[in-house]
Amino acid sequence: MTTAVYPGTFDPVTLGHVDIAARASKIFSRVVVAVYASSPGSPLFNTEERVSLFTRAVEDLSNVEVDVESFDGLVVNYARQVGARVIVRGLRGGSDFEYEYEMAFMNKKLAPDIETVCLITSLEYQFVSSSRLKEVASLGGDIGAMVPPHVAEAVLKKLSLLK
């Protein structure tokens, strides 16, 4: 039984994130989604909200669980804590590759026993990023094709509260 951890800020969770989690669930017997407690910049959603949104997004994936306890610190330490031997990451394009390439080597240096597996994002989600969709939504654009319906509703509600 191989456990994988899928870490990220997920502010908010996108259909690209769900796609990576679903595809990882077909490879690994257990996938633990780990939501970083801290987020660069000003997150739209607090940690509890991000955990809740992702939990609902993957509720139909029986071997994917979203850890209700967010985490800070090194992902390799978290992986060991939950018994994961693999870190799953999604790649959209060249800039993602450079970042993940360096991070994979750093994680390998810190934890030689933990592997990093990068899954190429499905074509329809190549352009989707949490930061970009928040920008589109704040300018009145339709994000319905980029996030689960409950997330689109939460984003619009949150943005209306900020105005």
pLDDT tens, position by position, 1-11: 899 999 999 99
Averaged over 30-35, what is the pLDDT? 97
Residue 51 has pLDDT above 80, yes or no: yes
Interatomic CA distance for residues 104 and 19, integer angstroms: 21
Mean pLDDT on 134-147: 93
Q: What is the pLDDT of residue 161?
A: 61
pLDDT-based confidence at residue 163 (cuts at 50, 70, 90): low
Domain 3-162 has CATH 3.40.50.620: yes
Q: Is 19 helix (H, G, I), strand (E, B) or coil?
A: helix
Query: What is the arithmetic mean of pLDDT over 48-67?
Result: 96
Which pLDDT does position 120 carry in this prediction?
93
Bond prior to 43 in cis (omega within 30° of 0) = no
Residue extents of the structural domains in the chain: 3-162
Of 40 and 133, more confident: 133
Judge contact between 92 and 132, C-beta under 8 A.
Answer: no
CB 106 within 8 A of CB 114: no
DSSP 91-147: E-SHHHHHHHHHHHHHHHHH-TT-EEEEEEPPGGGTT--HHHHHHHHHTT---TTTS
Q: Mean of the pLDDT values across residues 31-59? A: 92
Neighbours of 74 (CB within 10 A): 13
Confidence of residue 144 (pLDDT cuts 50, 70, 90): very high
User: In this model, does residue 15 exceed pLDDT 70?
Assistant: yes
